[in-house]
Amino acid sequence: MRIGESRHKAKNEIREERKAQGKDLSAVNIRVDTIHSMNTYKTYLEHCTHFVEWCISEKGVNKYASLNKIEKYAKEYLAYREEKGLSLYTLKAEKAALGKLYSHEIDYKFKEARTIDKITRSRKDTERQKHFSEERNKDLVNVCRGTGGRREDVSKLTRKDFFTDSKGNLWVKFEQSKGGRDRIAPVLPEYQKLIIEFINTKENNERLFDKIHNAADVHAYRREYAQELYNLVKTDKEKAQEYALKYPTMQNKGYDTYYARGDRETAFRGLKSDIHIVSEALGHTRLSVTVNHYLK
């Protein structure tokens, strides 16, 4: 438990440790074994409790059994949850919770996942994605995951489109985005260094990418960006205030909480101010679009 401490700092500590040991640093995702948010702790505890209850009721496990003895059922539980048609967002959260419980990633890959309101774009793997290598296109993947840009937005990016504010936050400016709207978006902290290193290899007016592989699911990376940004501003209020200063003040009428109806798995509740930041970064004006298409 490292509640209140920077998760980004913890990841950098791991990167520096790997660097000192001469290990490969090319991996995009760095896993930390600590929990930095009380909300994350409560969510993970709930998911792990459901897993235990399932083991007791469905596998006949004694309620006093060691957690280590039921680890063998983790993959079967995730498969069961997937067969129930839960959203990919929920399935990934459950997998992450079990991974935190057992201090290592659970070796299970989801085949497909049900989505809300028939929104299916970029929520399941497609045949063409099998022909796309994230490793060979890691710079593109980093930029997409770090900025949340649409395919056309990313295709037009140059080095001069990035800038740093007085707090050290890296931003990207998307000119003439969808609907002819210019907008700026914060680069997720964990991708700042990787993106800076990459763009520094380019001239100011040189496009970052000659072309974008047609099998790259840029919209899926955009969803990941939205969810990561939302979790960041939800748990780090200092960072949220820094980001909010760059955007128009939200006209908040009524309650501060946004609630989207749904069943137990698809209902959503969050602060309008947090969703507003994500919406502005994505280039959307309605909070409902951001919640239903990206955060659920």
Percent of the chain with pLDDT over 70: 89
SS3 159: helix
* CA 129 to chain CA mean position, Å: 19
Q: For residue 81, which of 264, 259, 267, 257 has the smallest C-alpha distance?
A: 264
* CB-count exposure of residue 107 (10 Å: 0-12, 13-18, 19+): exposed
Q: Is there a contact between 5 and 21 (Cβ–Cβ < 8 Å)?
A: no
Q: For residue 244, which of 159, 193, 169, 157 has the smallest C-alpha distance?
A: 169
CA atoms within a 13 Å half-sphere pointing along the CA-CB vector of 127: 0
Residue 121 has pLDDT above 80, yes or no: no
Q: Cα(12)–Cα(261) distance, rounded to whole angstroms?
A: 38
**Residue for token digits 């007016």?**
205
The predicted structure's pLDDT at residue 218? 93
Percent of the chain with pLDDT over 90: 58
- DSSP letter (8 states) at residue 64: T
Q: Is there a contact between 108 and 97 (Cβ–Cβ < 8 Å)?
A: no
How does pLDDT run across 190-248, given as a tens digit for each residue? Answer: 999 999 999 999 999 999 999 998 889 999 999 999 999 999 999 999 999 999 999 99
Residue 117 has pLDDT above 60, yes or no: no
The predicted structure's pLDDT at residue 127? 52
Domain regions of the chain by residue span: 7-115, 127-295
How does pLDDT run across 249-285, given as a tens digit for each residue? Answer: 987 666 789 988 877 777 899 999 999 999 999 999 8
The helix (run of H) or strand (run of E) holding residue 170 is: strand 170-174
pLDDT confidence bin for 40, thresholds 50/70/90: confident
The predicted structure's pLDDT at residue 112? 62
Residue 106 has pLDDT above 50, yes or no: yes
What one-character-per-residue DSSP string does 135-154 give? TTTHHHHHHHHHH---HHHH
The pTM (predicted TM-score) of the whole model is 0.58
Q: Beta-carbon neighbour count of residue 268 at 10 Å? A: 16
* CA 216 to chain CA mean position, Å: 17
Q: Cα(92)–Cα(283) distance, rounded to whole angstroms?
A: 26
The predicted structure's pLDDT at residue 125? 54
Q: What is the mean pLDDT of residues 127-134?
A: 67
Q: Cα(267)–Cα(295) distance, rounded to whole angstroms?
A: 11
Stretch among 110-124, 160-174, 279-293 having the lowest mean pLDDT: 110-124
How does pLDDT run across 50-89, given as a tens digit for each residue? Answer: 999 999 999 999 989 999 999 999 999 999 998 888 777 7
pLDDT confidence bin for 31, thresholds 50/70/90: confident
Q: Cα(86)–Cα(89) distance, rounded to whole angstroms?
A: 8
**Residue for token digits 């006949």?**
60
pLDDT confidence bin for 139, thresholds 50/70/90: very high
Q: For residue 76, which of 115, 46, 106 has the smallest C-alpha distance?
A: 106
Task: For residue 164, list its beta bridge partners.
Answer: 170
127-295, CATH topology level: hpI Integrase; Chain A (1.10.443)
Q: Cα(124)–Cα(113) distance, rounded to whole angstroms?
A: 7
Backbone phi, psi, residue 286, to 5°: -100, 130
72's CB contacts (< 8 A; 6+ apart) are: none
